[in-house]
Amino acid sequence: MNENVQKSVERVKLYADKTLGELKNAINREACSLTGSTLAYFATMDPTEKVLTMIGWSNSAMMNCSMIDKPIVYKLTDTGLWGDAVRERKAVITNDYKNLVKATKKGYPQGHVNVVKHMNLPVIEAGKVVLVIGVGNRAADYTAAEASLLSEFATAAWPLLKAKL
């Protein structure tokens, strides 16, 4: 395991016996720290891989989001780019959201935090996507190196989160 990932996982383990909220915050903090991002989120996937349930937003994402209604359950068919990690079953990197031309780009609702750069990826267990974790608005472009770090971290953090759900 990468040394930085290992340190992040160890810090998250300190919250394994805390509340679900504290654990979620720790996971988002470490995801941001590992990737140099300002925003993070994660969502669980139902066993049919048709419904994502958003369960964790970084504090910075929530402070910058003025949407009145923050839905937490999404049909995969209704998701835009952030659902591509499930559909493609791999990391999806968007370093120029504004100018991206892709069929699954749907934009975002009024009041949503401004996304400039975005990366998300699936955590797969027993052949099924169980979690989608994403980060955003890193100063530099996202690369395969950050995807690898985030994937390693999310895969290691998933059992801790799963135990709380």
Range of 108's domain?
A: 3-164
Say if residues 128 and 45 touch (Cβ distance below 8 Å).
Answer: yes
Q: For residue 91, what is the domain's CATH number?
A: 3.30.450.40
Strand, coil or helix: 71? coil
Averaged pLDDT, 105-114: 61
pLDDT digit string (tens) for 116-150? 899 999 999 999 999 999 999 999 999 999 999 99
**For residue 98, which amino acid is it?**
K
**Secondary structure of residue 127 in the 3-state scheme:** coil
- Token pair 């780009």 is found at 105
3-state secondary structure of 90: coil
pLDDT averaged over the chain? 88
* Angle (CA) 99 53 60, round 5°: 60
pTM of the predicted protein model:
0.89
Question: How many structural domains compose the chain?
Answer: 1
Q: Which residue has the tokens 């160890």?
A: 10
- DSSP, res 33: H
What's the whole-number mean pLDDT along residues 6-13?
A: 98
- Res 58: pLDDT: 64
- The position carrying tokens 């996304």 is 115
Environment class of 155 (CB within 10 Å of its CB; exposed 0-12, middle 13-18, buried 19+): buried
Q: Which amino acid is at 90?
A: K
Mean pLDDT score, 56-69:
52
